Amino acid sequence: MDALLKVDRCTIRFGGLTAVSNLDMSIGNRELVGLIGPNGAGKTTVFNMITGVYQPTEGAISLNGERLNGLKPFHITARGIARTFQNIRLFVSLTVFDNVRAAFNLHLKHGPFHALTRGPKFKQEEAEIREQAMDLLKIFNLDRFQDVMCKNLPYGDQRRLEIVRALATRPRLLLLDEPAAGMNPTEKGSLMTLIEFIQEKFDISVLLVEHDMRVVMGICKRIYVLDYGITIAEGPPDQIRRDPKVIQAYLGE
């Protein structure tokens, strides 16, 4: 299998604390992979490491064979990794539409001077962006809220808007950090359909960090289990469900 993302023996230490140790992970093209583990297992640290917020102390990360170590978060996003956040981090003073529009910045052909001269090319690109952003919002049924301040959206819609914003950067790999947090069972059900839909519609790979077992087991083809920064198991859902180490990590002795 040709791997899109490859994490090769990555370790990250904060002072004396080893948050993630010797992590090996590979995600193929169009694969839906889960990352689970008890609280404090280091799941979000793995996310931050892949997206460049933290640099791994040891080991290498590469996307499509290109090394990501040492790159700034915005460089990594430009290479095709987008993410959402565990606690929603939308641009609170912007409208729903502007939140998505801001993410188009990455592929912008014009710069500050074009914004000042406002020539025909600038106007054309702005019109294209508006159209593409509205198309994205329409797919997620958020187009009717385009002029609403995003902080006034219902919680579930805010979560979906964050995904839309991440998709606007045109990623090849989408990292979802606990998208089901704070959702009720019905919402979780529709979230599962949504994630599978996104994976197919946008033809991308998804790495899903999630607490809720039902969500992860339901949609992921492969699952990594982390405990105290160590990978204790890896495999398809059925195998993970029966793994004694995983049961012990979650339920105790």
Binding interface with other proteins (CB under 8 A) = 51, 53, 72-74, 77-78, 82-83, 85, 89-95, 98, 101-106, 108, 110-112, 114-116, 118, 122, 125-126, 129, 145, 147-149, 152-154, 157, 165-166, 168-169
> Which CB, 108 or 247, lies closer to other proteins?
108
CA distance 149 to 56: 37
CA distance 216 to 218: 5
Please report how close the Cβ of residue 244 comes to other proteins at its closest, in angstroms: 37
Please report how close the Cβ of residue 66 comes to other proteins at its closest, in angstroms: 16
Greatest distance between any 2 Cα atoms in the chain:
68
> Which CB, 112 or 185, lies closer to other proteins?
112
119 burial via Cβ count (<10 Å: 0-12, 13-18, 19+): exposed
> Which CB, 150 or 216, lies closer to other proteins?
150
> Which CB, 207 or 219, lies closer to other proteins?
207
Query: By three-state DSSP, how is residue 170 classified?
Result: coil
Please report how close the Cβ of residue 185 comes to other proteins at its closest, in angstroms: 21
**What residues have CB less than 8 Å from 211, skipping those under 6 apart?**
36, 178, 180, 181
